[in-house]
Amino acid sequence: MRWNGWGDPAKAKDLPLAVRSLLPLLLGRIRKPEPSVELSAVRVAASALTDADLTAFRAAVGLQNVDDSDQARIRHAGGRSTPDLLRRRQAEQDAPDAVIRPADHDEVRACLEVAVARGVAVIPFGGGTSVVGALDPERGRHHAVVSLDLRRLSGLIRFDEISGEAVLAAGTTGPEAEALLAAHGFELGHYPQSFRYATVGGFAAARSSGQNSAGNGRFDTMVTGIRVATPTGDIELGRSPGSAAGPDLVRVFLGSEGIFGVITEVRVRVHPIPRDRVFESWSFPDFASGAEALRRVAQQGDGPTVIRLSDEAETAVSLAQVGRIGKALAKGASVVTVYEGDGIVERRARASAHLVAAGGISAGEGAAEEWLKGRFDGPYLRDSLLDAGVFCETLETATTWSNLQPLRAAVERALKDGFGDAGAKSYVMCHVSHIYPTGASLYFTVLAGVRADPLGVWAPVKARVNNAIIAAGGTISHHHAVGRDHAAWLGEEIGETGIRILAAIKRELDPSGILNPGAVIPLERTR
Q: Which regions of 342-501 does DSSP assign to beta strands (E)?
A: 361-362, 391-400, 426-432, 439-448
- Order across the sheet with 156-160: list the strands: 156-160, 165-169, 262-269, 223-230, 233-237
DSSP bridge partners of 13: none
Kindly report the three-state secondary structure assignment for every residue of 103-130. Answer: CCHHHHHHHHHHHHHHCEEEEEECCCCC
Q: Classify domain 156-272 at the CATH topology level.
A: 3.30.465
Q: Which CATH architecture has domain 31-152?
A: 2-Layer Sandwich (3.30)
Q: In Å, how far from its chain's centre is CA 77? A: 17
Considering only CA atoms, which of 138, 144, 136, 148 is closest in space to residue 120?
A: 144
Considering only CA atoms, which of 328, 297, 309 is closest in space to residue 368?
A: 309
As a dihedral over the C-alpha atoms of residue 396, residue 397, residue 398, residue 402, rounded to 10 degrees, the angle is -100
Q: Classify domain 277-471 at the CATH topology level.
A: Vanillyl-alcohol Oxidase; Chain A, domain 3 (3.40.462)
By DSSP bridging, strand 144-149 and strand 98-100 are parallel
pLDDT < 70 positions in the chain:
322-330
Predicted local confidence at residue 43, as pLDDT:
97
Whether 91 and 164 have beta carbons less than 8 Å apart is answered as: no
What residue segments make up the domains of the chain, in order of their start? Answer: 31-152, 156-272, 277-471, 486-527
| Tens digit of each residue's pLDDT (9 = 90 or more) over 268-281 | 999 999 999 999 99
Distance CA 309, CA 430 (A): 9
Whether 60 and 39 have beta carbons less than 8 Å apart is answered as: no
